[in-house]
Amino acid sequence: MGHEFEVRRRIELAATPEEVWQAIATGPGVDSWFMGRSRIEPRQGGSTRLTVGGATEEATITSWEPPGRFAYRTEPGQDGTFMAFEWLVEGRDRGSTVLRLVHEGFLEGDWESEYEAMRTGWDMYLHTLAAYLRYFPGRRGRPVTALKVGAAGPGKPGLLEPMGAHREHRGRGHGRAITVAAAAALQELGSSSATVLTPSSSTGALATYRSAGFRPSPEIRPLHRNAY
């Protein structure tokens, strides 16, 4: 059974509204702190395209008011699912900015798990956006590592999904850096601990997690059964 959802976030950023706009409303800017590759047609009625792992999601821009408001929405699927995003940019004193995000839509299937993943995911990505604007404003980045966290709530264990690094950028400490940052994000969310599950045969990943302060637990062998 499907379910409507809404995620709201507010964050104060050490950047001007114009710098924030460049980071959230241009393809190269979004690529510097968000996953995948983004293309944005800068006009109302234009399109946005986000490509992750070979899959592309398109949306129509419903509001284009630089540098104050940016909104876009995907077309509903056959099951009624859709996503809508609204960014509100408000300048403050001393060159700072308050950024508000509203992410809403309709989910099918295991919507509760997907909703929780989006909530925790936005916390992590907005944390990355804040760091990007504070330390690297205007610079264009290229994603070299990816990692997703899941928080069950304050006082409960947090989970890191296995980290991936671009083959051209391995062995440079990027995996350790993003793993440490992800654990710090879980701590900020109130998680009591951080756990990552990875195959014991993945020696490179094990070395990365150990270097980030993780301790190995006894090996757990997966169970399986035939479908018929």
pLDDT in tens, 77-116: 888 899 999 999 999 988 899 999 999 999 887 777 778 8
Tokens of 135: 């330390």
Residue with tokens 């035939």: 226
Residue 191: is its pLDDT beyond 70?
yes
Residues 15 and 114 in one domain: yes
Residue 224: is its pLDDT beyond 70?
no
- What is the pLDDT, as a whole number, of residue 73? 97
- CATH number of the domain residue 89 falls in: 3.30.530.20
Dist CA 62 CA 47 (whole Å):
9
Q: Do residues 125 and 148 make contact, with C-beta atoms less than 8 angstroms apart?
A: no
Dist CA 94 CA 15 (whole Å):
9
Among candidates 67, 108, 113, 62, which has minimal Cα distance to 85?
Answer: 62
Residues 25 and 104 in one domain: yes
Domain that holds residue 109: 3-135
| Total structural domains within the chain | 2
